[in-house]
Structure 1
């Protein structure tokens, strides 16, 4: 689903085991998921295949944000947040793309991660990103700076 509301409705009226959770859980946008969606699916025993960890490539430098007809109209606050995330990542020697993939996969309700790849090189990069150790201090600084929700799961180091 590209919006959380249909997922919340589906788990209310059906016996759902797993859903695709696209666009709503990334380093850029995740507070509603942490505060509202995740508690609801935990209660129902639902897990997610996490999609769009990179916000359609935006986190890794694409000139678009998410998917849709207006995805090239990127809000200024989204651009500013990506820059703040880049600055913290730079201080810790962390690749922001790697951090974004690891962040989405770290959610306790995540069963799998879907990452697009346009080449064999990108598949290798995705694999490498998931094998890379990201310092605990990096995640702690993101939380201290308010760049990620205080209750968001982060990768174990």
Structure 2
């Protein structure tokens, strides 16, 4: 599912659902489904596989990399938010791809993240990013700067 609305409407209609693949509504950029859709999955024991953790590219390429967001050109507000995240990343020595890949995995309903890769070097980057240290102070600063939902679970 690619939208929060589809996520919230489809899950209740499928009794006995084991898992859902969710692409876009839960990324470092957008946690709109945190309090409803993901909360429901957690309550009902439905695992979530996050697709598109890089928000269609901008969280892998960064604000200057020409990355798309939500399958199209990133709006200025998104670019500005990513720039804020990049500043926090720089202060804590964390790469933006590491934050993007690790963030959704902290939610107890999330079983896996499918990052996608077109080339071997992208696979290698993803593996490195998953193993990169993301200090507690990093996540705290993202919250303080209102760059992520204050109730989103992180490694604190």
Q: Same fold (TM over 0.5)?
A: yes
Check whether the contact 2:8–2:36 (CA below 8 A) recurs between aligned residues. no
Moved more, 84-93 or 147-156: 147-156
**Does the 8 A contact of 1:2 with 1:21 survive in 2?**
yes
2:23 touches 2:50 (CA, 8 Å); kept in 1? yes
Matched with 2:43 is 43
Alignment of 1:2-81 (within 5 A): 2-15=2-15, 16-30=17-31, 32-61=32-61, 62-63=65-66, 64-67=68-71, 71-72=72-73, 74-81=74-81
| Contact 1:105-1:113 at 8 Å conserved across structures | yes
Alignment correspondent of 2:143: 143
1:94-113 equivalent positions in 2, closer than 5 A? 94-113=94-113
User: C-alpha deviations, 1:19-39, integer Å up to 9, x for none?
Assistant: 001011111111x21122111
Q: Is the 8 A contact 1:3 1:22 kept in 2?
A: yes
Residue 82 of structure 2 corresponds to which residue in structure 1?
82
Which TM-score applies when normalising by structure 1? 0.90
Shift of 1:123: 0.9
Tell me if the contact between 1:51 and 1:113 (Cα under 8 Å) persists in the aligned partners.
yes
Contact 2:48/2:110 (<8 A) preserved: yes
Q: Which stretches of structure 1, 4 residues or more, deviate above 6 A after TM superposition?
A: none
Between the aligned partners of 1:65 and 1:6, the Cα distance in structure 2 is 18
- Write the deviation string for residues 86-117 of structure 1: whole angstroms up to 9, x where unpaired: 00100111101111100022111111110111
Tell me the CA shift for residue 66 of structure 1.
2.1
Number of residue pairs matched by the alignment: 151
Give the corresponding residue for 1:126: 126
Unaligned runs of 5+ in 1: none
